[in-house]
Amino acid sequence: MPEKLFAEVATMQSQDAFLPVGNRFTEAQIAEAVDLIRNAGRLPAHRHEFLLREAITTSDFPYLFGTVIEHEMLARYRFAAAPWRPYTKVSTLLNFNIHQRHMLDGLTGRLPVVGEKGEYLVDPKPIHSRRYIQLTKKGKQFDISWESLINDGLGAFSDVAQRYADAASNTEYFDVTSLYSSAAGPN
């Protein structure tokens, strides 16, 4: 039995290298939208509602709102520590094809005692094995109406980004745990 258990998960080449389709805004525009949605300027309710209505009537608002949520979610997701990282190998894959990995198993057992002027024994030949890994895409959408956003006086939608960051972390925890254990016991 190996002394350490190593599992392998796959990630895209870089989260920053793959921009969403609707990402056509500068950071300043995104910051302005966040300030408007959160009413950072503490505008009176009627003025805030008017500016929101004006912004929402443009065709860019859904893209801008989605980009804001995405930025917040990624920032919160990156902040969360992943306790599975020390015992999991993370690979970088460039596409969704099946990738083959070659591995050596063995050479990690306890070392035998060597007597004075004794001979060091040859370790048994390591076992060569192949493993296959494939990148998968997981996600979901959040649908909110303009009226719900306007009427959200209690801030019920203010934690959407945190909820999606938690969903991403929970999915990773489940996927990594599934690599070495199932309901029936260890894999």
Read off the pLDDT of residues 124-180 as tens digits, 9 standing for 90 and up. 888 888 889 888 899 888 887 777 877 877 878 878 888 888 898 899 889 888 888
pLDDT for the residue 27: 75
Angle separating helix axes 61-79 and 160-180, nearest 10 degrees:
50
Q: How many CA atoms lie within 13 A of 91 on its CB side?
A: 21
pLDDT for the residue 24: 65
pLDDT for the residue 97: 93
Which 3 state secondary structure label does DSSP give 38? helix
Structure-token pair, residue 187 = 């894999």
* pTM > 0.85: no
Read off the pLDDT of residues 6-30 as tens digits, 9 standing for 90 and up. 455 555 444 444 444 445 667 777 7
Read off the pLDDT of residues 56-110 as tens digits, 9 standing for 90 and up. 666 666 677 777 777 788 887 777 778 888 888 888 888 899 999 888 888 888 8
